[in-house]
Amino acid sequence: MSKIERIPISTLIRTFFRELAFVFKIAPRQTIQLTIVQLLIGIIPPAELYLGARIIDILVHGSTNSVWSQQLIWFIIASLVLLGLQRVVFLLSDSMTEALKGDLMLAVTDRIHRMTVSLDLPTLEKPSVHTLLTYLKDQRWRPQQMTWILFQSIGNIAASISYIVLAAKFSPWFTLLFVIAVIPSVAISVWAIYIGMNISWGKAGIMKKVWYLESLFRRTQTLVELMIHHVGTYFADRYHASYAEVVRKEKEIEQKRLFASLVANICTFSVYIFVYVSVVQSVVLQEISIGQFTLYIGAFVGLERFMVSQAWQIAQLFEHTNYLNSFRTLEKLQPIIVDRPDAEQLSSIESLELDHVSYAYPETTIAALKDISFSIKKGERLAIVGENGAGKSTLVKILMRLYEPTSGTVLVNGKDYRAYTLESLRKQIGVTFQDVEQYSLTVKENIGVGELARIDDLVAIQLAAERSGIHQKITGLSNTYETMLGHETGEGGTELSGGEWQKIALARSLIKDASLLILDEPTAALDARSEYQFFQELFKKTREQSVIVISHRFSSVRVADRIVVLKSGRVEEEGTHEDLVGRKGLYAELYELQTKEIE
């Protein structure tokens, strides 16, 4: 999807009413109240105009009679009451709108989040889907703006009808001419909005880059890199150039809107000039009174203002509804990796086997994994080693069924792993990645999110921390397991080292009591000697679990029962440490090179 597609009006109307129902569901009481308030906002100005005209006529005719007639007093009282009521409803309108704005922003953002996590990795990695999500997030203010415009339209329509009734008393034909003059305004406004939508879609692509560059200045680790290499100014310039392009596109949108607004006003103002001269002529010919002159001129002025405003609002509703239709596009997306209708629950992984598994990323010709075959049984410790780019991380995603093999099969307990539900399969696999997620939460929560059912089970959390080797560190913190980590959500958070964060992440995996534990470069922040000791301790503490260790360090996994060596996506060698060293192959060569780090 490279640009905003032309969507049929019928589709937009359906989308509009569907989203209107969504708004009403979020805040039914506020929706009803705002409707009433906007009706009053629309009706009061024409009523004030009518009363003002009657007061003027009474005052003019009262120059030779008693001015303070009962009729005049009642008109003045009614006018003042309406003026006071108008101020109250404006205040109510602003207050209700602000309250509804927060509810809508929360609902829209929550909707994006929930629809995003309902998809799978292959779908989310599509560039078009990524751009769609960026567009929805960048423009998420639109639903609340649409809602405000909708309520304003209620007031505008009420005011326009009232002014039409007043203006028609002078000339139904002039009134009709005014209404007809608004039609070009609507067409030009819709054209400008459509052009602006395509510019906004283009802006979404740039915003992906802007958000990425902005994130570089928020992450401490990245800031250290920028300082060390003296490239902070370079990336600041890149951010400035990218955001300047966003600003340029926003200015382009505003220029289109200004042009449309000018054309719309010229159309209606031309009719207004003709009407104004006609009303003045009627006063000169004494066909109408001064009060009626005020009434009719005010009616046509109000009609012009509200009709032009309504024309632009119709165009804006088209724009916002088109955005809302993008939600429909997102809702239509379905994950590729789903449960089979007859999928079973997996209670334990007794064995896992890869049978000639290959995988190629979409739109690539070179496979990341090629004819991979190996197996692991319950309680076994398997190490998968290989240099960077050998396909190790892709293999982890295959095992987790984040990706599915292009060819070949993954067997769990002798069955194709697609025979089991995704939830039960992933529940039996605990994974710790190299780039661990550092949640700005308490220590307890950081570990507990690995198994939400145990997030308040301090005993289980402490046991997982002991098994990962981080318990002693935690007990030395100011509030032990209630200590806040990180500074992302507030001040006072404690920072951990890279190795300590990896142990927190490992505890997050261990709390699941999964059958299979996969560690993807879990000790990248440790030196080779510490890593070796880490694995010795880990294997002692996970005797009841099968363990797969993914690493590019050959020297630290020699305590594994078996080692699989990957090279360019293929299994190069397989065996025990002693067997592989004795073969004098790739493993022996790289092992000899890497063990020098320890010496």
Tell me what the mean pLDDT of segment 262-269 comes to: 72
What are residue 368's phi and psi, to 5 degrees? -75, -35
Amino acid at 152: Q
Contact by Cβ (8 Å): 124, 116:
yes
pLDDT of 1 strictly over 50: no
Residue 167: name the closest of 246, 85, 79, 49 by CA. 49
- Helix spans in 139-231 (H): 142-168, 172-216, 220-229
What's the confidence (pLDDT) of residue 412? 94
**Predicted confidence band at 147 (pLDDT cuts at 50, 70, 90)?**
confident
Residues 23 and 362: their CA atoms lie apart, in Å, by 39
104-119, pLDDT tens digit by residue?
878 888 888 888 888 8
Summary mean pLDDT of the chain: 80
Burial of 436 (0-12, 13-18, 19+ CB in 10 A): buried
Tell me what the mean pLDDT of segment 243-264 comes to: 75
412-462, pLDDT tens digit by residue?
999 999 999 998 998 898 888 777 778 888 889 988 888 888 888 999 999
Residues 567 and 552: their CA atoms lie apart, in Å, by 11
What percentage of the chain carries pLDDT values higher than 70?
84
pLDDT of 524 strictly over 80: no
Tell me what the mean pLDDT of segment 494-522 comes to: 83
pTM for the whole structure: 0.68
Question: Can you tell me whether residue 220 is helix, strand or coil?
Answer: helix
pLDDT of 13 strictly over 90: no
What's the confidence (pLDDT) of residue 2? 45
**Predicted confidence band at 204 (pLDDT cuts at 50, 70, 90)?**
low
Q: Which region among 126-135, 423-432, 498-507, 516-525 has the lowest average model confidence (pLDDT)?
A: 516-525
Supply the angle between the helices 172-216 and 127-138 in degrees, to the nearest 10.
120
Q: Which region among 117-121, 235-239, 543-547, 568-572 has the lowest average model confidence (pLDDT)?
A: 543-547
Tell me what the mean pLDDT of segment 28-46 comes to: 85
What percentage of the chain carries pLDDT values higher than 90?
11
Q: Which region among 10-24, 66-80, 126-140 has the lowest average model confidence (pLDDT)?
A: 10-24
What are residue 456's phi and psi, to 5 degrees? -105, 5
Amino acid at 38: Q
What's the confidence (pLDDT) of residue 596? 62
344-356, pLDDT tens digit by residue?
999 999 999 999 9
pLDDT of 559 strictly over 70: yes
What's the confidence (pLDDT) of residue 326? 79
pLDDT of 5 strictly over 60: no
Tell me what the mean pLDDT of segment 286-297 comes to: 82
Q: Which domains does the chain have, with CATH numbers?
A: 9-198+254-332 (1.20.1560.10), 378-407+418-597 (3.40.50.300)
